[in-house]
Structure 1
Amino acid sequence: MLNPEIANNDSPSAALYARARAVMPGGCSRNTVLRKPHPLYAARGEGCYLIDIDGNRYVDFANNMAALIHGHAAPAIVAAVTEQLKLGTGYTMATEVEVEYAEYMCARVPSFDKIRFVNSGTEAVMCALKSARAFTGRSKIAKVEGSYHGVYDYAEISQTSQPANWGSADHPASVPVTHGTPSSALNDVVVIPFNDLERAIAILDAHADELACILLDLVPHRVGMILANPKFVAGLREWSTRNNVLLVLDEVITLRCRFGGAQEIFKVKPDLTAMGKLIGGGFPVGALAGRDDVMSVMDPLSEPVRFPHSGTFSANPITMVAGLTAMRAFDRAAVARLNELGDRARARLTEAIRIADAPACVTGVASLFRIHMKQTPPLSYRDTYESKVEKSMRNVFVEHMLRGGMLLTETGAGMLSTAMTDAEIDALADVAVEGFRKVKCKIG
């Protein structure tokens, strides 16, 4: 069902955006909600559906950027949080549920000896990098070109590089995202290509004595939402072990891919893992987990304390209760069912592309998918990089899907929730056929 009010300049959303522009830069607190001519404003969520203040209803494939593994207002989470609200939202004391949740996560993922909870995926990555430096005594980090790891200066390097500044394939450049990024930050980040082990090792070898860690997302969204090559992952694990460099996995999004995270796919044991999104049950969250000896840099009882760490809202009881409830419900059966639904989504979208005879493709793994306006699936960040024409095509497609009641991310990606069924996947594919036809007409 089409949503004609989306671009209505007299709508409640348009009026609210006019107010927002007066008090917030760009009229928002996060750029991902911006759309032309104005953002959409949520009124409520119901399972896998999101209703805006203009009365439009969408199947939510964005799920607050992959944070809502059980969709909106999951009854078990609502009930658990409601009970905790009666007891308080935070204390200058620890809580039993924090310990209970830590025990659960350490039992769930084999590489987790110890865990610390923080407040976002960005903070988790930041703490991972600081822990690696504290443990090794080295300052440099290595990361994959184009990979997104939050807004920490070092983690965001090369995230938005483009042909004019990304350098050669043999030596990708450290390109800042934010104006004013210190040159010292650029110098302390070594950029390696994704899924190109030979080139990556050559670059790493040149900095072996300076590196604290390699930061890696196994299914990096900005690199195309493509699965890492097993030989690439194994090669980086072997190299890092041999050179006493830590391997840090960013599983902020990918923890959903298997019961034990995407690392379970590769049977790789990282030294540290950064998490966020689904482990908060819909509330702000992050966590860092890994080897006992590495995590000990945060131990306030050690002498000296190599990485003093705290946070007012870290492990707050609302997030702990919501997260533990969500993760217990996301058991092996739920993970398997959602991954099967992901297989269906990618297959149905691929069929829609074939029917429309459009220059597009679908990537992804488990319960994740991303649509590209390219005939051949990308293999790296440089392959994923969009031309102006491709970006315009993608915008047309995403807008068409929105008007058809299908909410994707701005990049054309989707992250499924357990509230979804085959019916929502089939509806997605039905709307997508016309979207792909529209794209083809635009370039035809």
Structure 2
Amino acid sequence: MINWPDAASRSRALYDRGLKVLPGGITRTLPWQEPFPVYAARGEGAYVIDVDGTRRLDLLNNFASLIHGHAHPAVVEAVRRQVGNGSAFTLPTEQEVALAETICGRAESFEQVRFCNSGSEAVMSAIKAARAITGRPKIVKAEGVYHGAYDYAEVSLDSSPANWGNDPNSIGYSKGVPKGVTDDVIVIPFNDVEASERVIRANAGDIAAVLLDAAPSYLGFVQISKPFIAMIERVTREIGAVLILDEVITFRSHTGGAQTLLGVNPDLTTLAKIIGGGFPVGAVAGRREFMRIYDHREGKPGLPWSGTFTANPVTMTAGKVTLDLLDHAAIDRLNQLGDRLIDGVNAAFAKSSFPGQVTGFGSSFMIFGHTRSVSDYRSGYSTPEETRRVAALQHALTIEGFHIARTGKGFLSTPMTEADIDRFIDAVSRVVDAGLEM
């Protein structure tokens, strides 16, 4: 069998075709890896099969959106029935009401929901809502934390020692970001109570919202500390700002999300990923007093928000089935598998003297190419050599039959077994014992 990265593979042929019609040959940059990406043909439960027939344990699951893995029979059957009745309508449907009811039943702060089509859109909408509610322009976000592809949300996503400053500077992520964007984003150090409160209070009169993730993926899923979130909740109330919690990924950690598990009390929450059951989705959920900004019944609302495929019945159907299957027992089992993976891989690293570690939260994990304690962006920041170390490990694991991100991230799915996790741990051990070519 021809396997990646053989130059005669079908993945290579598809990449060469893609180069002619797509910038860089691909549409999504995150799945990229040298010398060309693996192309998927189909998925079966916990596994993805590429176009050359190689079967790999999928530890990425479309970057956390497939919590029940690929082609779950209940989801497939429900979607098949819905597509037969229509895939999208101008009219509202019962399916959007049903999914909204399910979501609102999961967390105390979820009194109403507004759907959209991605996590990036959800964050964009929540920021716009906060500005409409408060009449203020600025948002606060933590350094190095990802909140989707939106100029404001991307500020200081990849700042470096060369530009990050003492108190975090506001650094545009992509070329061409207007100065007005960086002027309206205040960046704070994650989990630093004293410094963050000082920075927020210095800008109190201009702040519309504080946007936070309770366990940011780019920080290795390090949890928000209780003193830090207590300060954020207290200060946002005192200055009249909106607290937005990004649960696009962390909602998988508990039936009521990280906010229920960790005791966070947001005004608005952004959701996506698993609530769509493998289809494009996003949502803003929150308390009624904040969600009324979307209400049209008295004329033009404070925040008009719509979209051609928003709340389409296929996504709503898949999301409802997915959440119904995702009960306490399923999440507890998945989180236990996450603990098993983290403990096992860290033990393999220690045994081989590999200079790395795994951190995680629930069923999400990240491999670092260093052993420094991670509490925020700067403590987790990797040197070029450390980054190459993780990429080399990912490359080797792809050949071994395992699919993780080249950044070291992974997300488990309910079809996975203890045997699957143990096979991954054994593969990591073999690879690091043999040494990595960087």
| Equivalent position SS for 1:111 | coil
Partner of 1:127: 125
| Equivalent position SS for 2:303 | coil
Deviation at 1:265, TM superposition (A): 2.0
Check conservation: 2:56, 2:403, Cα contact below 8 A. yes
Partner of 2:148: 150
Matched, 1:312 2:308: yes
After superposition, the Cα gap between the structure-2 partners of 1:411 and 1:27, relative to the gap in structure 1 and judged at 3 Å, is same
Residue 309 of structure 1 aligns to which amino acid in structure 2? W
Check conservation: 1:108, 1:260, Cα contact below 8 A. yes
Partner of 1:200: 196
Identical counterparts, % of pairs = 44
Residue 266 of structure 2 aligns to which amino acid in structure 1? P
Distance 1:236 1:10 in 2: 55
Distance 1:100 1:195 in 2: 37
Check conservation: 2:387, 2:407, Cα contact below 8 A. no
Output the TM-score relative to the length of structure 1: 0.97
Which aligned pairs between 1:134-283 and structure 2 lie closer than 5 A? 134-168=132-166, 171-283=167-279
Distance 2:316 2:328 in 1: 21
Distance 1:431 1:233 in 2: 38
Residue 188 of structure 2 aligns to which amino acid in structure 1? I
Residue 108 of structure 2 aligns to which amino acid in structure 1? P
Partner of 2:290: 294
Check conservation: 2:258, 2:264, Cα contact below 8 A. no
Deviation at 1:358, TM superposition (A): 1.4
Deviation at 1:442, TM superposition (A): 5.9
Partner of 1:108: 106
| Equivalent position SS for 1:322 | helix
- The alignment of Structure 1 onto Structure 2 pairs a total of residues equal to 438
Check conservation: 2:2, 2:52, Cα contact below 8 A. no
Deviation at 1:436, TM superposition (A): 2.6
| Equivalent position SS for 1:32 | coil
Q: Deviations over 1:192-219 (max 9, x none)?
A: 0011111100100111110001000111
| Equivalent position SS for 2:214 | coil
Partner of 2:61: 63
Deviation at 1:33, TM superposition (A): 1.9
Q: Deviations over 1:379-413 (max 9, x none)?
A: 11112211111011111111111111110012111
Residue 241 of structure 1 aligns to which amino acid in structure 2? R
Check conservation: 1:4, 1:403, Cα contact below 8 A. no
Distance 2:273 2:388 in 1: 29
Partner of 2:26: 28
| Equivalent position SS for 1:110 | coil
Matched, 1:435 2:420: no
Distance 1:242 1:192 in 2: 18
Residue 342 of structure 1 aligns to which amino acid in structure 2? G
Matched, 1:383 2:379: yes
Distance 1:436 1:378 in 2: 22
Matched, 1:359 2:359: no
| Equivalent position SS for 1:165 | coil
Distance 2:339 2:220 in 1: 17
Distance 2:373 2:340 in 1: 18
Distance 1:354 1:38 in 2: 31
Runs of 4+ in 1 over 3 A off after TM superposition: none
Deviation at 1:377, TM superposition (A): 3.1
Check conservation: 2:2, 2:9, Cα contact below 8 A. no
Partner of 1:8: 6
Distance 1:97 1:369 in 2: 33
Check conservation: 2:372, 2:380, Cα contact below 8 A. no
| Equivalent position SS for 2:153 | coil
For structure 1, the residue ranges without an aligned partner over 5 or more in a row are none
Deviation at 1:177, TM superposition (A): 1.0
For structure 2, the residue ranges without an aligned partner over 5 or more in a row are none
| Equivalent position SS for 2:361 | coil
RMSD: 1.3
Output the TM-score relative to the length of structure 2: 0.98
Deviation at 1:376, TM superposition (A): 2.5
| Equivalent position SS for 2:271 | strand
Partner of 1:409: 405
Q: Deviations over 1:50-108 (max 9, x none)?
A: 00001111000000000000000000000000000110000010000111111111111
